[in-house]
Structure 1
C-alpha cells in the first residue's frame, strides 16, 4: 500500500506542475464526534482538532489534492474495576485516542463562480491511530496505520477576491489494522479559512 501511495503522489505532483488553474488552501478547526468502536472506548466529543486541505481546480467544478488532519479524543472514566489484557484492575481510567489521516482527495463543486458554492467530496488514503489507557502508574498503548475513506459534504462562502470561509461535515473511517481490530470512525465538523490562489 505504501508503494501505491508513493506512486500516486508522484503522478499527482507531475499533473499539478502542468496545471495553471486556481487552487484552494484550507485550514480548519475540527470537532470530532466518535462512532462505533471508537465511540464505545471514548464517548466524549473532541474539541481538539485541526485539518489542512489543498485542492487544485482541474476544472471550474472539480478539485483534486490532499487532506491531512489530527483529532485528539479524551475521556476520564470513574473509579471502577476494569479488565485490561485479561487483568482486572481497580482505579480511575484516562483514555486517549489520536487520529491522523493523510489522504488524496477530490471535491465536486455544485455552483462554481458563485459566492455560495456547495460541494461534495471524498478522500482515500492512510490513517494513523494511537490509543492509550492510563491507570495509576500503568499505561497501555495500541496503534495502527490503516486504510481510510472519508466522504464529505460542505460549502464555501467567498468573502473577498482571494478568501472564503468553509464549513464541512466528514465521516472519517479508519479500517481495522495493527493493534486495533475494529474500525476507528468519527464524524468531524470542520470550520475553515480558505485562501484562493494560483
Structure 2
C-alpha cells in the first residue's frame, strides 16, 4: 500500500508540473454526507464528513488533480446475544468506521449555460479505514488499507466574485478494505457534497 501512495504522489507532482502553464488551478472544500451500502456492519448515514479537492485544467473541458476526504460513521446497536464457537455474549454496542479516501482524479466539463459548469469524473487511489466496536468496558479495533475507485458527477455555480463558485456533487466510492472479524468484504458508499471553490484563470 505504501508503494501505491508513493505512485499517487509522484503522479500528482508530474501532472502538476507538466500542466503548470496550461490553465486554471481550482481548489474546493465541501461538506460531505455519506450513505454506506453493501455493509451489514454499519448502515447509518454519516453527516460528519469533509472533502478537499485540487484540480488543474489541461484544457477548457478537462482537468486532473487530487481529492482527499474524511467520513465518520457511528451506529448504536441495541442489547442482544451473539454466539460464536459455543460462546455467547449479551451486550449492546457502539460501532464506528472512520474512512480517509484519497485519489488522483480526472474530470470532463460539459457545455451548458454560462452560470453552470456540469462535470463528470473518476478518482483512483487508496482508502485508509478504521473499524471499531465498543462494548461494555471493552473495544475491538481493526484498521486497514484498500484500493479505491470513485466515479462522480456534479456542477459548479460561479458567484459574482471572480473565481469563486458553489460546488454540488455526488459520488460512489468502492474500496477493497477487508475485515474478516467484522465480516466486511469491502466498503462502499454514496455521498453528496456541497461547498465552495476558488479558481484562478477560468
TM more than 0.5: yes
Structure 1 residues 69-88: aligned runs within 5 Å:
69-83=69-83, 87-88=87-88
CA distance in 1, matches of 2:129, 2:159: 36
Shift of 1:118: 0.7
Q: Does 1:141 align with 2:141?
A: yes
Tell me how many residue pairs correspond in the alignment: 196
Cα 1:56–1:86 change in 2 (3 A) is farther
User: 1:152 maps to which residue?
Assistant: 152
| Distance of aligned partners of 1:96 and 1:104 in 2 relative to their CA distance in 1, 3 Å threshold | same
CA separation of 1:164 and 1:83: change in aligned 2, threshold 3 A: farther
CA change 1:138–1:194 in 2 (3 A) is same
For residues 74 and 87 of structure 1, the distance between their equivalents in structure 2, rounded to whole angstroms, comes to 27
Tell me the TM-score normalized by structure 1.
0.90
How far residue 16 of structure 1 moved from its aligned partner, in angstroms, is 1.8
Superposed displacement of residue 4, structure 1: 4.6
1:3 Cα deviation after fit: 2.7
Which residue is 1:36 aligned to?
Answer: 38
In structure 2, how many angstroms separate the alpha carbons of the residues matched to 1:47 and 1:145?
Answer: 23
* Deviation of 1:9 (Å): 2.5
Residues 113-136 of structure 1: CA distance to partner in whole angstroms, max 9, x if unpaired?
Answer: 832011100100000011000100
Aligned CA RMSD, in angstroms, stands at 2.1
Residues of 2 paired with 1:11 and 1:141: CA distance?
Answer: 33
Deviation for aligned residue 1:178: 6.1
**Cα 1:91/1:182, change in 2 over 3 Å:** same
Unmatched 5+ stretches in structure 1 = none
**Alpha carbons of structure 1 residues 177 and 83: separation in structure 2 relative to 1, 3 Å:** same
Whether the 8 Å contact between 1:60 and 1:112 is mirrored in structure 2 is no
Alpha-carbon distance in structure 2 between the residues aligned to 1:146 and 1:85: 29
| C-alpha spacing 1:85/1:16, structure 2 compared with 1 (3 Å) | farther
Measure how far apart 1:43 and its partner are. 1.6
State the shift of 1:10 in Å: 2.2
Q: Deviating runs (4+, > 3 A) in structure 1?
A: 83-87, 176-181
* Residues 170 and 192, structure 2, Cα contact 8 Å, conserved in 1: yes
